[in-house]
Amino acid sequence: MSGELPLSGLRVADFSWFGAGPIAGLMLRTLGAEVIRVESQARMDGLRMTQPVPPGKEGSPNVSGYFNNYNAGKLSFTLDLSRPEARQVALDLLARSDVMIENYTPRVVQNWGLTYDEVVKVRPDIIYAQMPMQGSWGPHRDFLGFGAVIAPVAGYSHLSGWPDRLPSSMGVNYPDYVINPGHAVVAILAALRYRARTGNGQHIELAQVESVAATLGPFLLEYTVNDSVPERSGNRVAWACPHGAYRCQDGLPLPVAATLRMAASASPPPQLEDRWLAIAITNDAQWEGLLDVMGRPAWAQDERFTTFLGRKRHEDELDTHIEAWTSTLNAEEAMRQLQARGVPAGVVQSARDVLDHDEHLRERGFYQYINHAETGRSAYDGPGFRMSGAPFALGGPAPLIGEHNDYVLREVLNYSDERIAELLIGQVIY
Residue numbers annotated as active site: 176
CA-to-CA distance for 43 and 227, rounded, in angstroms?
Answer: 48
CA-to-CA distance for 32 and 26, rounded, in angstroms?
Answer: 10
Instruction: Kindly state the greatest CA–CA separation across the chain.
Output: 87
- Please give the angle made by the CA atoms of 411, 414 and 418, to the nearest 5 degrees: 120
**Residue-level length of the chain:** 430
Measured from the Cβ of residue 288, the count of other Cβ atoms closer than 10 Å reads 16
Decide: residue 77, CB within 10 A, 0-12 exposed, 13-18 middle, 19+ buried.
Answer: buried
Counts of helices then strands in the chain (DSSP H, E): 19, 11
Beta bridge partners of 204: 129
- Please give the angle made by the CA atoms of 128, 131 and 136, to the nearest 5 degrees: 90
- Cα–Cα distances (Å) from 110 to 19, 136, 407, in that order, read 21, 11, 28
DSSP secondary structure letters along 337-403 = HHHHTT--EEE---HHIIIII-HHHHHHT-SEEEEETTTEEEEEPPPS---TTS----SSSPPPTTT
DSSP H or E stretch at residue 112: helix 106-112
